[in-house]
Amino acid sequence: MEITGQKVIVVGGSSGMGLAVVRAAQARGAHVMMVGRTEEKLKQALETLETPERVTPITADITREEDVRALFEAVGPFDHLVVTAAGDLSYQPIKEVDPDKARRIVDSKLIGALLLAKHGSTSINSKGSITLTAGIAAQRPLPTGLVVAAVNGALFSLTYGLAIALAPVRVNVLSPGWVDTPVWDVIAGANTPTMFAQMAQRLPVGRVGRPEDIAHAALFLMENEFTTGTILPVDGGHRLV
Ligand SMILES: NC(=O)c1ccc[n+]([C@@H]2O[C@H](COP(=O)([O-])OP(=O)(O)OC[C@H]3O[C@@H](n4cnc5c(N)ncnc54)[C@H](OP(=O)(O)O)[C@@H]3O)[C@@H](O)[C@H]2O)c1
């Protein structure tokens, strides 16, 4: 099944991997809803697209249930939901773990995904799909990224549960390795180029990821009708090193 002519919602679509998914889905002829919290960021992302008139920007914060409800009311029936959103990520050594910061990570990546599944489930095409995004931290955590690791692991289990609960709608989760996106400004700041160079040497594929690598996998998960409850690592072999 190709997504040509289908309605695809990309939550997190204004940056990084989500923006690459918006581009890839649009290139395939899908109608794309690009969702994020910040209007200005959505506007700037639209300006980078070749055919922005075929993409609808929608402002919503997925940690707020009223925003999620309003999002699906505005969109109406749709075919696919891809979630790459992650805001309020923070990294601390174990002795400095702050419960409020930890809860914000859980809200942003886990509760947000749950709310999207809850409210999206009533208007998604039964032949459609939901794709969540976890990450390599589930298996190769940074010592300062314990909560991010835990949330990514929880997203694997949430995906198994949703694939059963929402069947026949298919539900899968992408698990990216290190990918060159703006999130690294938060994770490593000025150290990013050095960390990427070191990681590239370690990885079997010899480079860190590009957002397009993830978008390619997201297209597969939307279009392959026999794939559900799957954790799809797209990590350049990071799990092996
Ligand atoms: N980049 C990596 O190396 C890497 C590795 C493994 C896993 N991941 C995971 O992959 C996913 C995508 O990461 P990325 O690198 O593409 O991130 P990114 O460039 O920072 O993009 C995050 C997107 O999510 C949106 N967003 C954040 N919080 C939101 C909320 N509460 N409601 C709605 N939209 C929200 C952001 O827009 P606003 O800020 O305007 O809301 C932005 O569009 C994340 O789950 C991340 O944890 C990334």
Structural domains in the chain, CATH included, are: 7-181+210-235 (3.40.50.720)
Q: Could you read off the pLDDT of 95-133 as tens digits, one per residue? A: 999 999 999 999 999 999 999 999 999 999 999 999 999
232 CB neighbour count, 10 Å cutoff: 18
Which residue minimizes the CA distance to atom 12 of ligand 1? 84
Residues within 6 Å of ligand 1 by CB: 11-12, 14-18, 35-38, 41, 60-63, 84-87, 108-109, 112, 133, 135-136, 176, 178-179, 181-183
Q: Could you read off the pLDDT of 41-96 as tens digits, one per residue? A: 999 999 999 889 889 999 999 999 999 999 999 999 999 999 999 988 888 999 99
Q: What is the C-alpha to C-alpha distance for residues 227 and 41, in angstroms, rounded to an integer?
A: 33
The per-residue pLDDT for 6 is 97
Instruction: Tell which residue, 16, 52, 56, 59, has the closest CA to residue 36.
Output: 59
What band does 188 get if pLDDT is binned at 50, 70 and 90?
A: confident
Contact status, residue 218 vs residue 174, Cβ threshold 8 Å = yes
What band does 177 get if pLDDT is binned at 50, 70 and 90?
A: very high
Q: What is the C-alpha to C-alpha distance for residues 85 and 113, in angstroms, rounded to an integer?
A: 9
Name the residue with tokens 């949330």. Answer: 151
Query: What is the token pair recorded at 17?
Result: 């991997």
Q: What is the C-alpha to C-alpha distance for residues 140 and 234, in angstroms, rounded to an integer?
A: 14
Give the Å distance between the CA of 203 and the centre of ligand 1: 23
Q: Which of 10, 17, 19 to mutate to test the pocket of ligand 1 (most atoms within 8 A of CB)?
A: 17
Contact status, residue 113 vs residue 132, Cβ threshold 8 Å = yes
Distance spanning both ends of the chain, measured CA to CA: 35
Ligand 1 atom with minimal separation from the 183 CA: 20
